[in-house]
Structure 1
Amino acid sequence: MGFTARPGPDRNHTAGTTRLDPDYWHAAPTGRFEPDPKYAPVASRSEPEPQPAPAAVPPVPMWHRAVPNSPPRPPLVWLVGVHGGAGVSSLAASLSWAGDAGQRWPARIGLAADMDSPLVVLVARTHMRGLNALLRALIAHRQHATPAGSLVVGVVTIADVARPLPISVAERRDEAEALAFQLGARTWRLGWLEQWRSYEPHELAEWTPSVDSTPLHDGDPTRTPPQPVRLLAEQILTTARSAGARITEHAHRSAGKASP
């Protein structure tokens, strides 16, 4: 059981503007994420072979209205499960600033009151079905079959058992994480959480950045999220704040250029 972060690059994104709560990222860090050397491009001495155009992929499932699972405060980031049973509901219940989008992508992105944040974190379980679904979702995003303006800021894979992955499954996870890296997203791995088996999502304690000190983990997930979840939450929040700040800055610059 545990949590592992895998770094990805910071990138500029010119997505459509959205209503993002500034309290979530007013203290956003200015540092850039360094790429993982494992996925560094390899220089080639010869001209690359021409590649056939990728086949078109169908659009991902999406909400064509405001996401109905919105908490009272507008979420900074939406958690999207790429398959059923990914763990989105339990994870979203543990993060006060994240929304549960189910298995659909938010598509109504903008400034109006009924529109949603473009920031998305994809969630999958670490079995072959889940990782294949994650890979398909990332390919769809690369081929622009996701809602216009969506920004995948990260990918979370959650262990489906408390045992090491089979080699073929581990390789598929590496493949999905490599593609996420190429798309500018960060990747995180959340280990098996036995505590989540005994509770409904609404019974789980949530983590919020407004808490000055984190209570000592006492093993009761209804009192405080397990430590791996808190560590994951801190890194997702930092990444989402940085992305939100860039989007807001871009929106302000665009509005300034449009003013007479």
Structure 2
Amino acid sequence: MNPAPLQLHRGKSGPGRLDPATIVEPTPERMAPVRETALPTTAAHPPLFAVLGAHGGAGASTLARWWAPAADTGLAWPGSPRTTQRVIVAARLCMPGLTAAAERLREWHAGYAPDGVTVIGLALTAARPGSVPAMVRRFRSVVAELVEQVYDIGWHDELVCLDLADLAQYSPFAPAPQRRRKSRLTETVPLDVYRAGADIISRIAASHPAAQKDSEDQS
């Protein structure tokens, strides 16, 4: 497998963005579609961010269920400004998954995602139990240069026996799962999912104009 070259010089084209002139964008037939309709509101409040699957089977629906403040945007960029356009790209931690993730990230950096879209992280879900092959780890380190934050989600056997609606959910005010207690996924989210959700919410809160002003006032 020969992934497209990644040119990684930081520019000033927006939060977390690389200089589009340094990016080799995917070919048109490899670009993601755009969702023109607003994201669904399935909880008490509109979603704070969207989970975009870089490929089929990326785990986007599971992650969007686990993170209560999220919405599943499938394989499409969220193009409607009526709901959030903050995006977590989801992919499997394998060579095809990483290649697809790199395409979505390069597409965004090159300016081909809809106006208003901001990629705030990459969630990589284990493709199998056990260790990650060295070749995959090396390619992961390359793809990680295309995004501000990478969230690693492990393999959870119980998922194969549960429907999405059965899964517990992370919310910003939920207590962290206990380290030493093995809970069912119907009772609480895994610790790696909790930590990723908490970090995402923290980053979103820190990017709010009021939080940025408070930080400037204190500096």
Match of 1:65 in 2: 37
| Percent of aligned pairs with the same amino acid | 25
- Once the two structures are superposed, what CA deviation does each residue of 1:6-64 show, in whole Å capped at 9, x if it has no partner? xxxxx99868xxxxxxxxxxxxxxxxxxxxxxxxxxxxxxxxxxx99846743521101
Match of 2:49 in 1: 77
User: What is the identity, as a one-letter code, of the residue corresponding to 2:65?
Assistant: A
Match of 2:4 in 1: none
Structure number, greater radius of gyration: 1
The 1-side partners of 2:88 and 2:42 are apart by: 17
2:172 pairs with 1:205? no
Using the TM superposition, give the Cα deviation of residue 228 of structure 1 relative to its aligned residue in structure 2, in angstroms.
Answer: 1.7
Match of 1:190 among 150, 153, 162: 153
TM-score by length of 2: 0.78
Equivalent runs, 1:33-112 vs 2, <5 Å: 54=24, 57-58=27-28, 59-67=31-39, 69-72=40-43, 73-109=45-81
- State whether residues 154 and 188 of structure 1, in contact with CA within 8 Å, keep that contact through their aligned partners in structure 2: yes
User: What is the identity, as a one-letter code, of the residue corresponding to 2:194?
Assistant: R
- State whether residues 25 and 103 of structure 2, in contact with CA within 8 Å, keep that contact through their aligned partners in structure 1: no
Secondary structure (helix, strand or coil) at the match of 1:139 reads: helix
Residues 220 and 179 (structure 1 numbering): CA distance in 2 closer, same or farther, change over 3 Å? Answer: same
Match of 1:23 in 2: none
- State whether residues 123 and 156 of structure 1, in contact with CA within 8 Å, keep that contact through their aligned partners in structure 2: yes
Using the TM superposition, give the Cα deviation of residue 246 of structure 1 relative to its aligned residue in structure 2, in angstroms.
Answer: 3.7
TM-score by length of 1: 0.67
Match of 1:144 in 2: 111
User: What is the identity, as a one-letter code, of the residue corresponding to 2:137?
Assistant: A
- State whether residues 66 and 116 of structure 1, in contact with CA within 8 Å, keep that contact through their aligned partners in structure 2: yes
Secondary structure (helix, strand or coil) at the match of 1:131 reads: helix
Q: What RMSD in Å do the two structures reach over aligned CA positions?
A: 2.8
Using the TM superposition, give the Cα deviation of residue 208 of structure 1 relative to its aligned residue in structure 2, in angstroms.
Answer: 1.0
The 2-side partners of 1:176 and 1:89 are apart by: 22
Match of 1:130 among 97, 113, 122: 97
Residues 145 and 101 (structure 1 numbering): CA distance in 2 closer, same or farther, change over 3 Å? Answer: same
- State whether residues 78 and 120 of structure 1, in contact with CA within 8 Å, keep that contact through their aligned partners in structure 2: yes
2:85 pairs with 1:121? no
| Unmatched 5+ stretches in structure 2 | 1-10, 16-20, 214-219
- State whether residues 12 and 246 of structure 1, in contact with CA within 8 Å, keep that contact through their aligned partners in structure 2: no
The 2-side partners of 1:203 and 1:78 are apart by: 21
Residues 63 and 161 (structure 1 numbering): CA distance in 2 closer, same or farther, change over 3 Å? Answer: same
- State whether residues 13 and 246 of structure 1, in contact with CA within 8 Å, keep that contact through their aligned partners in structure 2: no
2:204 pairs with 1:240? yes
- Once the two structures are superposed, what CA deviation does each residue of 1:66-124 show, in whole Å capped at 9, x if it has no partner? 13x43232100111110111111111111111111111110011xxxxx1112111010
| Unmatched 5+ stretches in structure 1 | 1-10, 16-50, 110-114, 251-260
Residues 104 and 163 (structure 1 numbering): CA distance in 2 closer, same or farther, change over 3 Å? Answer: same
